[in-house]
Amino acid sequence: MKKSLIVKILVVALIAYSAYAYYQTHKVSETNFDANLYASGNGRLEATEVSINAKFSERIEKLYVNEGDIVTEGQPVAQMKTDTMQAEYDEAVMNAASAAHEIQVKTQAINVAKCDVASYQADLAARKSRYVRSSQLVKSGAISKQTYDDDAAKYNEARSALASAQENVRLSIATLAQAQANAKASQAHVAVLASKLKESTLYAPRSGRIQYRVAREGEVITAGGRIFSMWDMDDVYMTFYVSEFAAGRIKLGAEALLVMDSDRDHPIPAKISYVATVAQFTPKTVETKEERSKLMFRIKAKVDPSVVANNPELKAGVPGVAWVKFDANTPWPKFLKAENAKN
């Protein structure tokens, strides 16, 4: 009985010592790294948030995705109701067809009016010739005054008829212009409604992961109202802060490793995409008062989209430590376990 108890105590002690030794080794490795080769800073995994909003005020008919779903660019995510809009579109199409027909009618009326003008011009020419001849004959007494008066009256009537026909052509052209304007407005209305019908289906603007579903099926949403909030998988990064010395040595495109608190054994490979040119105070998330009092430079390490796509467990907001090396030829320290990096 005593032997068994002693063995158990020894096993527990051995496990405790191993854990303590690992912790001390791990702690020393991280705190005593060569600052001439590497820099590090606390941060959180972040991603650009993209909103998917309704284009116009309408009731939501169907939602195709849920929170946590992975979507690709151009994938349908929601459908708005279109009953009323479809009826308006059908009516607009009929009005546009009617307007187009009206143009044909007005164009034909102009052609008829122009034919009338040509006929009246020919009649006027004949009556004018007769009137001129009558004017000469009445002076010599070859025709009566009554005949001359009749020819003069018919000549004036022909002039009035021609003027009326010409005015009719002018009015027909004006009404054609109005019909063409109406047809153009009708076609524009059809185009607007067709666009709204097309926009009644909402698509994912980028590839990413749905974070929040703000609205529900059957709800009426206002124009511009948000329905989904998604995480852009092409823009996942960690922002951290380093000293002036380190900032001056970090290059754009430099290799980085993001060691997340939730999985320290599998760091995330990244590349430096931004180095601030102006110093600033570090945020309050930095723990020590001494570090908060220093002017630091903001650094941004971006994760390759393929890494994010292959590791769906990655989530925005998870804390960790970003590591960056100044020289690409410098190997990573062993405690970072770069060989286990996610891919």
The better pLDDT of the pair 16, 142 is held by 142
Nearest Cα residue to 199 out of 224, 179, 219, 175: 224
Note the pLDDT tens digit of each residue in 127-145. Answer: 888 888 888 888 877 888 8
Residue 26 confidence (pLDDT) above 50: no
Which pTM value belongs to this model? Answer: 0.58
Per-residue pLDDT tens for 53-97? Answer: 998 888 999 999 998 888 989 999 999 998 888 888 888 899 889
260 in Cβ contact with 316 (< 8 Å): no
Give the distance, in angstroms, between the CA of residue 56 and the centroid of all CA atoms in the same chain: 14
Query: What average pLDDT does the segment 21-26 reach?
Result: 47
Reported as a pLDDT band with limits 50, 70 and 90, residue 300 is very high
CA distance 299 to 240: 5
Average pLDDT, the chain: 83
Check residues 30 and 147 and name the one with the higher pLDDT.
147
Give me Rg for the CA atoms of the chain: 43
Amino acid 152 reads: A
Residue 28 pLDDT greater than 50, yes or no: no
Q: In the chain, what percentage of residues exceed pLDDT 70?
A: 86
The whole-number pLDDT of residue 317 equals: 83
Strands of the chain (E only): list them.
38-53, 58-63, 70-71, 76-80, 201-203, 208-213, 220-221, 226-242, 255-260, 263-275, 280-281, 295-303, 319-325
